Amino acid sequence: MAMLEITQFYFSVIVSQAVWISIDGVLTITLVIAITQLLPAKRLYMSRPTARLLGPHTLASIWGQTAINHAFLFGAIGLLFRQKWFRCHEFDSRDIDTSLWWLLADNFEAEVISIVCLFQFVNAAAVHNFGYLFRRPWMTNYLLVFLYCIYMSIISALALADPNSLGCLYRINCGERSVLQDMHYNGAGVDTYNSPIGHNVMPRRFRWTLWALCATNVVACLAYEKLVVLGPVGRLVKRWWRSHHSDGKSYMKL
């Protein structure tokens, strides 16, 4: 959330009200509830989960996911600024009515930030659904798997679809009706669009490129958690640390 706020502040934009409501009122609540539905493993493991809130295991997960998500968000914005169709269409708060703060999402920058961060928020639930050795396999959490597929499908539709009512609700690939009609998009649009160019419809090729970038972000986060933090890389680091920092004594945790 802090990353989203800082990025918005840098560009003087605000993602749409629908995005905020979706994150705070729908995604966070339903996914947190769904994560808790993963049952414990049928057999107790020989050790217990870490109880250290700031231990290396926890910090490696948090720092790694944060770094990956930052990299892909900034990469998406950098990709946007490399597009010829975007140049000279950058958002400038001097050109619009800033008193209409709820319409500061009517630009390409806020649109890209919204799409990338929605993917990242939903994927965070899947990352923390991995139960390691103490819980059952992630796919047995049927509620979370169902919600994850539904939410990812909706966000993908927002990112890839031509102007439509749902996209205009989120101020993604939308614009004024008259402007969209000139672009040969009929039957969609809004009456008031707070942007000098009157729309933020991205070219289809760029939509697919952005979606592919977000999909890669999803895979990278899942792979890092599963293979590095909880997987063979993490176990290798743990064994190395113990071999170089052990005093040769054995301890039992109670």
> How many residues are listed for the chain in this entry?
254
pLDDT at position 23 is 93
Burial 210-233 (b: 16+ CB within 10 A, else e): bbebbeebbebbbebbbebbbeee
Q: What is the pLDDT of residues 151-206, one digit of tens each?
A: 999 999 999 999 999 999 999 999 999 899 888 888 788 888 888 888 999 999 99
What pLDDT digit, counting tens, does each position of 54-82 carry? 777 788 888 999 999 999 999 999 999 99
Amino acid identity of residue 139, one-letter, is M
User: How far apart are the C-alpha atoms of 36 and 54, rounded to whole Å?
Assistant: 21
Helices assigned H by DSSP within the chain: 2-11, 17-21, 28-35, 56-81, 108-127, 142-160, 165-169, 177-182, 204-223, 232-245
Residue 164's CB is within 10 A of a number of other CB atoms, namely 17
Cα separation, 198 vs 57, whole angstroms: 48
Higher-confidence residue of 102 and 18: namely 18
Mean pLDDT of the chain: 86
What phi, psi does 45 have (nearest 5°)? Answer: -85, 165
In eight-state DSSP terms, residue 140 is G
Q: Tell me the range of 12-16, 57-61, 234-238 where mean pLDDT is highest.
A: 12-16
Q: Which two tokens stand for residue 133?
A: 């050795």
Residue 111: per-residue pLDDT = 95
Instruction: Indicate the burial class of 106 (C-beta count within 10 angstroms; 0-12, 13-18, 19 or more).
Output: buried
pTM given for the model = 0.87
Q: Is 243 left (phi over 0), alpha (psi -120 to 50) or beta?
A: alpha
Tell me how far CA of residue 10 lies from CA of 83, 93, 131, 158, 214, in angstroms.
20, 12, 37, 24, 21
Place of tokens 């999909």: 215
